Amino acid sequence: RKVPILGIPTGVKMYSGVFAVSPEKAAEVLAKFLRGEVKIEEREVRDIDEESFRRDEVRARTYGRALVPVVEGLVQGNKEAVKIDEAGELEALVEAIAEEILESDGVYFLGSGSTLRRIKERLGIDGTLLGVDIVEVQDGAVKLLVKDATERDLLKFIDKNPRVVVTVVGGLNFLFGRGNQQFSADVLRRIPKENILVVATPDKIKGPVRVYTGDKEVDEKLRGYIRVRVSPWMEKLVKVI
């Protein structure tokens, strides 16, 4: 409660509002802190419950609060759950995306998170909540090729012209680099930007979204603008930074 702290992200489970969005941005926050150009806010210190995590469930626990030097756009917020009033809208979106996948044959890399888990369930596969799954669609039938795929698994299917379906991490506003590290720079380098389908409810998109693969060239390829499906009938043009 006296000394401000700032988390430097080095893993995937960034549930607290005390982390900078990248190691480089942490350095920028520190420089601004030393020049007196930051606000000091009280933020939650959170982490997931490890036992629930092993059961493919995400349950976050709050451990306390800490003072944090905050610069807009450089320090992330807490990861957010889906609001109750979004549930109906989300179900309609999930239904539409599942139908579109079933109508287009090919290999799909289905990302992590509760939104993608709903899509996997609608497709009739036993996919993971926290991992990436590889599926193949043929004549309206879905086959689960690899459950909880690693980066190496994704690279094995990279020559099949796969399509990637992912969502934005709520609160953190990350597209790649948080929660889906299986989509490494080596994988994303070989996937055309037009093969990436981003799905999210409107309230989940708060300003620009971020990518951080650790490879500047790949990050630059993904930056610019990307279309995000926010309803069965609507797309939103979102800036990627």
Render pLDDT for 182-238 as a digit per residue (tens, 0 to 9): 999 999 999 999 999 999 988 778 788 989 998 999 999 999 999 999 888 888 899
208 SS3 class: coil
DSSP letter string over 94-131? HHHHHHHHHTS-EEEEE--SHHHHHHHHHHT----SSS
CA gap 43, 78 in Å, rounded: 8
Q: Sign of the C-alpha dihedral, residues 18, 181, 115, 126?
A: negative
Comparing CA positions, the residue from 187, 235, 236 lying closest to residue 211 is 187
| Interval 12-20 mean pLDDT | 74
pTM of the model: 0.74
Comparing CA positions, the residue from 69, 78, 75 lying closest to residue 22 is 75
Which pLDDT value is given to residue 232?
86
CA gap 91, 127 in Å, rounded: 17
Local structure of residue 169 (DSSP, 8 states): B
Give the rounded percent of residues in the chain with a pLDDT score beyond 90. Answer: 53
Q: Sign of the C-alpha dihedral, residues 164, 165, 168, 170?
A: negative
Which pLDDT value is given to residue 62?
80
Contact 143, 126 (CB under 8 A): no
pLDDT tens, position by position, 56-95? 566 677 888 889 999 888 888 766 554 445 667 788 899 9
Backbone angles phi, psi at 171, to 5 degrees: 85, -40
Least trusted range by pLDDT, from 115-124, 149-158, 190-199, 232-241: 232-241
Cβ atoms < 10 Å from Cβ of 195: 14
